[in-house]
Amino acid sequence: MALIFVTSNRHKFEEVSELAARHGIELEHRGTPYIEIQADNLEDVVRPSAQQACALLKQPCFVEDAGLFVQALRGFPGPYSNFVFRTLGNEGLLKLMAGETDRRAEFRSAVGYCEPGQRPEVFTGKVKGTIAPEARGMRGFGFDPIFLVENMDKTFGEMEISEKNKFSHRAQAIEAFFSWYEQREKA
184 compared with 139, residue with greater pLDDT: 139
β pairing state of 27-30 and 3-6: parallel
Residue 1 has pLDDT above 80, yes or no: no
d(CA 112, CA 122): 5
Query: Which pLDDT belongs to residue 184?
Result: 85
The yes-or-no answer on residue 65 being catalytic is yes
d(CA 2, CA 6): 12
Query: Which pLDDT belongs to residue 73?
Result: 97
92: phi then psi, degrees, rounded to nearest 5: -65, -40
Considering the candidates 44, 65, 144, 153, report the single residue annotated as catalytic.
65
d(CA 111, CA 55): 17
Query: Which pLDDT belongs to residue 14?
Result: 96
pTM for this predicted structure = 0.95
Query: Which pLDDT belongs to residue 175?
Result: 98
Residue 138 has pLDDT above 90, yes or no: yes
Read off the pLDDT of residues 53-77 as tens digits, 9 standing for 90 and up. 999 999 999 999 999 999 999 999 9
Mean pLDDT of the chain: 96
Q: State the Rg of the chain over Cα.
A: 16
Read off the pLDDT of residues 23-32 as tens digits, 9 standing for 90 and up. 999 999 999 9
- Give all domains of the chain, ordered by start, each with its CATH number: 3-186 (3.90.950.10)
Closest residue by Cα to residue 175 from 18, 14, 4: 18
Read off the pLDDT of residues 38-53 as tens digits, 9 standing for 90 and up. 899 999 999 999 999 9
Residue 100 has pLDDT above 80, yes or no: yes
DSSP string covering 99-167, please? T-S--EEEEEEEEEEE-TTSPPEEEEEEEEEEE-SS---SSSSTTGGGEEETTSS-BGGGS-HHHHTTT
d(CA 39, CA 101): 28
Closest residue by Cα to residue 109 from 82, 131, 130, 84: 82
- Mean pLDDT over residues 166-179, rounded? 97
Residue 80 has pLDDT above 90, yes or no: yes
- Binned at pLDDT 50, 70 and 90, residue 186 comes out as confident
Instruction: State the Cα torsion 112-141-126-101 to the nearest 10°.
Output: -140
- Binned at pLDDT 50, 70 and 90, residue 35 comes out as confident
Q: Calculate what percentage of the chain has a pLDDT beyond 70.
A: 100
